[in-house]
Protein backbone atom coordinates (compact mmCIF):
# COMPACT_ATOMS: atom_id res chain seq x y z
CA UNK A 1 0.00 0.00 0.00
CA UNK A 2 2.75 2.43 0.98
CA UNK A 3 4.53 1.99 -2.37
CA UNK A 4 1.37 2.74 -4.32
CA UNK A 5 1.29 6.41 -3.33
CA UNK A 6 2.50 8.52 -6.25
CA UNK A 7 4.47 10.75 -3.90
CA UNK A 8 6.36 7.75 -2.55
CA UNK A 9 7.03 6.45 -6.06
CA UNK A 10 8.37 9.86 -7.03
CA UNK A 11 10.59 10.01 -3.94
CA UNK A 12 11.85 6.50 -4.68
CA UNK A 13 12.73 7.48 -8.26
CA UNK A 14 14.43 10.62 -6.97
CA UNK A 15 16.55 8.59 -4.53
CA UNK A 16 17.52 6.13 -7.30
CA UNK A 17 18.47 9.04 -9.56
CA UNK A 18 20.63 10.59 -6.82
CA UNK A 19 22.32 7.24 -6.25
CA UNK A 20 23.04 6.83 -9.97
CA UNK A 21 24.41 10.36 -10.13
CA UNK A 22 26.71 9.69 -7.16
CA UNK A 23 27.99 6.61 -8.98
CA UNK A 24 28.81 8.61 -12.13
CA UNK A 25 30.47 11.34 -10.06
CA UNK A 26 32.61 8.69 -8.33
CA UNK A 27 33.70 7.35 -11.74
CA UNK A 28 34.65 10.87 -12.80
CA UNK A 29 36.71 11.47 -9.66
CA UNK A 30 38.39 8.07 -9.97
CA UNK A 31 39.43 8.96 -13.53
CA UNK A 32 40.54 12.53 -12.75
CA UNK A 33 44.12 11.69 -13.79
CA UNK A 34 43.30 9.44 -16.75
CA UNK A 35 44.49 11.04 -20.00
CA UNK A 36 41.67 11.58 -22.48
CA UNK A 37 38.88 10.80 -19.99
CA UNK A 38 35.77 12.95 -20.46
CA UNK A 39 33.59 13.75 -17.47
CA UNK A 40 30.10 12.24 -17.52
CA UNK A 41 26.86 13.14 -15.81
CA UNK A 42 23.23 12.03 -15.94
CA UNK A 43 20.24 13.94 -17.21
CA UNK A 44 18.49 16.07 -14.62
CA UNK A 45 15.76 14.30 -12.65
CA UNK A 46 13.20 16.78 -13.99
CA UNK A 47 13.92 15.57 -17.53
CA UNK A 48 13.08 11.98 -16.51
CA UNK A 49 9.90 13.08 -14.76
CA UNK A 50 8.68 15.00 -17.80
CA UNK A 51 9.37 12.20 -20.31
CA UNK A 52 6.27 10.47 -21.62
CA UNK A 53 5.73 7.12 -19.92
CA UNK A 54 5.63 4.04 -22.13
CA UNK A 55 4.97 0.86 -20.15
CA UNK A 56 6.87 -2.20 -21.32
CA UNK A 57 6.12 -5.81 -20.47
CA UNK A 58 9.32 -7.62 -19.48
CA UNK A 59 7.81 -11.10 -19.45
CA UNK A 60 4.49 -12.74 -20.42
CA UNK A 61 1.71 -11.70 -18.06
CA UNK A 62 3.84 -8.95 -16.54
CA UNK A 63 1.21 -6.27 -17.05
CA UNK A 64 -1.83 -8.51 -17.02
CA UNK A 65 -3.14 -6.99 -13.80
CA UNK A 66 -2.63 -3.38 -14.81
CA UNK A 67 0.67 -3.01 -12.99
CA UNK A 68 2.83 -0.32 -14.46
CA UNK A 69 6.54 -0.80 -14.68
CA UNK A 70 8.63 2.24 -15.12
CA UNK A 71 11.97 1.79 -13.49
CA UNK A 72 14.29 4.74 -13.76
CA UNK A 73 16.79 3.95 -16.51
CA UNK A 74 19.47 6.56 -15.94
CA UNK A 75 21.74 7.03 -18.91
CA UNK A 76 25.23 8.47 -18.70
CA UNK A 77 25.87 11.50 -20.86
CA UNK A 78 29.03 13.47 -21.43
CA UNK A 79 29.10 16.59 -19.28
CA UNK A 80 28.76 19.50 -21.73
CA UNK A 81 30.34 21.90 -19.21
CA UNK A 82 33.63 19.97 -18.95
CA UNK A 83 36.70 21.35 -20.70
CA UNK A 84 39.76 19.26 -21.48
CA UNK A 85 43.11 20.02 -19.91
CA UNK A 86 46.52 19.54 -21.57
CA UNK A 87 46.37 15.72 -21.41
CA UNK A 88 42.81 15.61 -22.76
CA UNK A 89 41.23 14.90 -19.38
CA UNK A 90 38.00 16.82 -18.85
CA UNK A 91 37.36 16.23 -15.13
CA UNK A 92 37.20 19.21 -12.79
CA UNK A 93 37.29 18.07 -9.17
CA UNK A 94 35.62 21.32 -8.09
CA UNK A 95 32.74 20.71 -10.50
CA UNK A 96 32.40 17.11 -9.34
CA UNK A 97 32.29 18.28 -5.73
CA UNK A 98 29.44 20.68 -6.53
CA UNK A 99 27.54 17.96 -8.40
CA UNK A 100 28.03 15.65 -5.42
CA UNK A 101 26.51 18.23 -3.07
CA UNK A 102 23.52 18.60 -5.42
CA UNK A 103 23.00 14.82 -5.52
CA UNK A 104 23.31 14.63 -1.73
CA UNK A 105 20.62 17.31 -1.37
CA UNK A 106 18.37 15.46 -3.80
CA UNK A 107 18.77 12.23 -1.83
CA UNK A 108 18.10 14.06 1.46
CA UNK A 109 14.90 15.51 -0.02
CA UNK A 110 13.74 12.05 -1.09
CA UNK A 111 14.34 10.57 2.38
CA UNK A 112 12.58 13.55 4.00
CA UNK A 113 9.53 12.90 1.81
CA UNK A 114 9.54 9.23 2.89
CA UNK A 115 9.75 10.22 6.55
CA UNK A 116 6.93 12.80 6.28
CA UNK A 117 4.61 10.38 4.46
CA UNK A 118 5.37 7.77 7.11
CA UNK A 119 4.58 10.29 9.87
CA UNK A 120 1.29 11.27 8.19
CA UNK A 121 0.25 7.63 7.85
CA UNK A 122 1.03 7.01 11.53
CA UNK A 123 -1.03 10.05 12.53
CA UNK A 124 -3.90 8.83 10.35
CA UNK A 125 -3.82 5.50 12.18
CA UNK A 126 -3.84 7.24 15.56
CA UNK A 127 -0.25 6.28 16.30
CA UNK A 128 1.27 9.70 15.73
CA UNK A 129 4.28 10.77 17.64
Angle at 32 between CA 28 and CA 36, to 5 degrees: 95
Of 23, 34, 17, nearest in space to 91 by CA: 34
- Of all residues in the chain, what percent carry a pLDDT higher than 70? 69
Phi, psi of 17 (to 5 degrees): -65, -45
Query: Over the stretch 20-68, which tens digit does the pLDDT of each residue have?
Result: 999 999 999 999 989 988 888 988 888 877 766 565 666 666 544 433 3
Distance separating alpha carbons of residues 79 and 32, to the nearest angstrom: 14
| The predicted structure's pLDDT at residue 127 | 75
Alpha helices of the chain — where are they, by DSSP H? 6-30, 45-49, 93-124
Distance separating alpha carbons of residues 113 and 89, to the nearest angstrom: 38
How much is the mean pLDDT over the chain?
79
| The predicted structure's pLDDT at residue 53 | 55
Amino acid sequence: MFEELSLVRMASAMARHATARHSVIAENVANADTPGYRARDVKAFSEYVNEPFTPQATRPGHMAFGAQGGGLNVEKIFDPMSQASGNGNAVSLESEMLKSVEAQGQHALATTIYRKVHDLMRMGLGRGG
